[in-house]
Amino acid sequence: MIEWVVTALEWIAIVFAFLGMITVGLMMFVFAAHLIKKLPKLPKPKKPKKERRTEYMSKEAREGVTFNDIFMFMIAVPLVLLWVGFAGFVIHSGLGNAAVLENIEAYTTLIAILGGPALLIIKDALDVWKQEQAEKTAFYKVKAQSVIDYNDTVLKQAQEIESKQQEQEHKMESKK
């Protein structure tokens, strides 16, 4: 039984080492992309202007997958699942096997060793993710308020134009 647990933990360690290499690769890719953005750009040929007004969203404002999203789903989620899964496995095995209960201190120590760093990493990742979500929410609040203000301005302007037209019509009628 213990050999199986050791083998399972070795495989899990291999998987997490592989995920760690992927994470480091992603970080290097993001860093390289950031450096490439800093390079001077060649001038682009000018496009003919369109007659209609269109609005473009900046890259920061676009909704998309960020590095923090990838980090949350590739590192934090599997780590939490591993931690909870191993704890559940120990509880399940302890209910049916007296040998597990005899070594329960070793298992709880292993759960604590996995859980300590996991909790710190998860807390930091969740804080960063929460901050990113708060920034997105704040952006959408500002954007919604600007749309409301724009609509109010357009409505007031349309009302002013209509009242000026009515005044002009009244003046024209009174002159007749």
| Confidence check: pLDDT of 8 > 80 | yes
- Assess contact for 121 and 75: CB atoms under 8 A: yes
Burial of 150 (0-12, 13-18, 19+ CB in 10 A): exposed
Number of H helices, E strands in the chain: 5, 0
What pTM did the predictor assign? 0.39
b/e 80-117 (16+ beta carbons within 10 angstroms → b):
eebbeebbeebeebbeeeeebeeeeeebeeebeebbee
For the CA atoms of 78, 80, 83, 85, the dihedral, rounded to the nearest 10 degrees, stands at: -70
- Assess contact for 26 and 70: CB atoms under 8 A: yes
- Assess contact for 74 and 19: CB atoms under 8 A: yes
pLDDT tens-digit map of 30-83: 777 776 776 666 667 676 665 555 455 555 555 677 777 777 777 777 877 788
**Would you state the structure tokens that stand for residue 161, as one six-digit string?**
């134009």
Domain ranges of the chain: 2-29+65-175
| Per-residue confidence (pLDDT) for residue 138, from 0 to 100 | 92
C-alpha distances in angstroms, 96 versus 9, 63, 107? 21, 49, 15
pLDDT tens-digit map of 107-156: 888 788 778 877 877 788 788 889 999 999 999 999 999 999 999 999 99
